[in-house]
Amino acid sequence: MRIDTPAIVLANRPHGEHGAVVRFLTPDHGLQPGYVRGARGRTLRPVLVPGNSVQLGLSARTEGQLPQATVELAHSRAAMLGEALPAAAIDWATALSAAVLPEGQPYPRLYLALDGLLTAIESAPAASGWGAALVRFELLLLAELGFGLDLSQCAVSGSDDDLVAVSPRSGRAISRAQAAPYAGKLLPLPEFLASGGNASWRDIADGLALTGHFLARDVLHDRLSLVADSRARLVSRLHKAAGLA
């Protein structure tokens, strides 16, 4: 087996005295693990930071063998790790992807979405500029794994007007009139998801609460403990930045 491909570093776990097992997301081969010799050395340690883009080479003699990986840095995002909120977002997006995606199954749309999200985190002056992209990435991940939400029309009336909430059970949108009797029992649907436009801080917080509910219920299951700290850190820092704490 030989693969040569662009990739995004998702997770890095020390293995042996100097190496590491690194998980990468690739456009055509999905999630791929590989053993990187010297990963903990001075040269490769800054390359294998989650969120970095690399050129990845994978090779293995047999199908069941953990591939040997070689990496060349294509684009570093390590500088963003010095900023609390961008660092929390990068940590969460990469940890989530590493935890839930099955190995070897291609998700080209997710690869492009994650790359776009990471680019947005780099270029936007504040989280209000990339928060909506993070919510949309999580919605896409849910859909790609077979748990997509239906936010296009009201589950009760079939109307696509004035959608304001989502059923926490069915994942379907609810209009304002139909939601009124169930106040407090439904999840808020941010306007930017219902009808487009810009997202406020409150919209972003509501969007993450929405996706967080379905990620925890449908995708993470027994893996929640692996990424719970990353999610909590992101939400806490976003609320603090937005003055919502």
Tens digit of each residue's pLDDT, the chain (245 residues): 899 999 999 999 988 788 999 999 999 999 999 999 989 899 999 999 999 999 999 998 887 789 999 999 999 999 998 999 999 999 999 999 999 999 999 999 999 999 999 999 999 888 888 999 999 999 999 999 999 999 999 999 999 999 999 999 999 999 999 999 998 899 999 999 998 888 999 999 999 999 999 999 999 987 878 899 999 999 999 999 888 86
- The dotted CATH code for 2-76 is 2.40.50.140
pLDDT confidence of residue 245: 62
- The dotted CATH code for 81-151+189-242 is 1.20.1440
pLDDT confidence of residue 72: 97
pLDDT confidence of residue 210: 98
Q: What residue spans define the domains of the chain?
A: 2-76, 81-151+189-242
3-state SS record for the chain: CEEEEEEEEEEEEEECCCEEEEEEEECCCEEEEEEECCCCCCCCCCCCCCCCEEEEEEECCCCCCCCEEEEEEEECCHHHHHCHHHHHHHHHHHHHHHHHCCECCCCHHHHHHHHHHHHHHHHCCCHHHCHHHHHHHHHHHHHHCCCCCECCCCCCCCCCCCEEEECCCCCEEEEHHHHHHHCCCCEECCHHHHHCCCCCHHHHHHHHHHHHHHHHHHHHHHHHHHHHHHHHHHHHHHHHHHCCC
pLDDT confidence of residue 75: 97
pLDDT confidence of residue 18: 87
